[in-house]
Amino acid sequence: MFSINPFAELSSTVSPAIMQTYVIIMIALVVGGTLFDIVHKKSAKYFFSNWRKAGEKGSREVGGGEIVGIAVKTAVVEVATSGEFCSMKRRIAHLLTMYGFIAYIVTTCMMVFATAPTVPIIAQIWWLGAAMICIGGYWFWFFIRVDVAAEGNSPFRIVRADLFVLSLLASATLGLVWAYLQATGSGLTMVALALYLIATSVFFGSVPWSKFAHMFFKPAAAMQKRVAEANGSRSNLPEPADEPEQFGSARRRPSHY
């Protein structure tokens, strides 16, 4: 079961062209939603403005070679290993979800657009990726969130900022359920498929309102911080009091509301 391409099995009832078109539409929604987020929230303008100001206030100039070194360090520490999280539990949950998401998305595209029989390892990585999302995501949702772990609030309390993690969990969970039901020949397969497509569409279609675009801004912001520290423009600034909430799930409204 774990070595079978579930999308190849689906092609007996749904045209591969339809599946491929759906994936392309989801990619377009991410691109469009991210661009909308940048324009609407002026994230790019804010980023480059801060970068310029940091350069003007810096006590020394950061050379091109040093910039490359900072970029590599940012990629390794903040991106690849999520080194900004002080809590090991939060870091592990984040890494499980992040690498699971990458494996899940990449293998989905490979299996949907496959022109030759899928190598079993690809399907196995798809199952593993979706399972990693579920393990990391549910662990975070029920046991690590600040308002649940420290403040004792209900784990079922939901705000708009939770749209990203919940829709991702729904997509991965229903994807696994659909693939399992299809492999076992269940009569509920098409129902599970419909729910899977709805959850996935919400996940990719809600980029302007969720924290999806956060994953693109976060590495840039981390690198900007390192450059500011290197040129001395950040030397007199205090460190943030609290670590940012994982997955960008802010649980409290700003004080000015």
Q: What is the 3-state secondary structure (H, E, C) of 58-126?
A: CCCCCCHHHHHHHHHHHHHHHHHCCCCCCCHHHHHHHHHHHHHHHHHHHHHHHHHCCCCCCCHHHHHHH
- pLDDT < 70 positions in the chain: 42-48, 50-51, 54-56, 58-59, 146-153, 155, 213, 216, 233-257
Could you tell me the two tokens for 249?
């799930």
Domain segments of the chain as ranges: 6-232
Residue 85 Cα distances to 94, 98, 115, 139, 244, angstroms: 9, 14, 41, 16, 8
Length of the chain: 257
CA 210 – CA 214 distance, rounded (Å): 9
CATH entry 1.20.950 includes domain 6-232:
yes
Query: Of the candidates 161, 133, 135, which has an alpha carbon nearest to the alpha carbon of residue 147?
Result: 161
> Quick one: pLDDT at residue 200?
96
> Quick one: pLDDT at residue 78?
76
> Quick one: pLDDT at residue 43?
66
If one counts every other C-beta atom within 10 angstroms of the C-beta of residue 31, the result is 11
> Quick one: pLDDT at residue 26?
95
> Quick one: pLDDT at residue 99?
95
> Quick one: pLDDT at residue 146?
66
> Quick one: pLDDT at residue 152?
65
> Quick one: pLDDT at residue 218?
74
If one counts every other C-beta atom within 10 angstroms of the C-beta of residue 110, the result is 17
Q: Are 138 and 169 in contact (CB under 8 A)?
A: yes
User: Residue 10: helix, strand or coil by DSSP?
Assistant: helix
Could you tell me the two tokens for 23?
């994936």
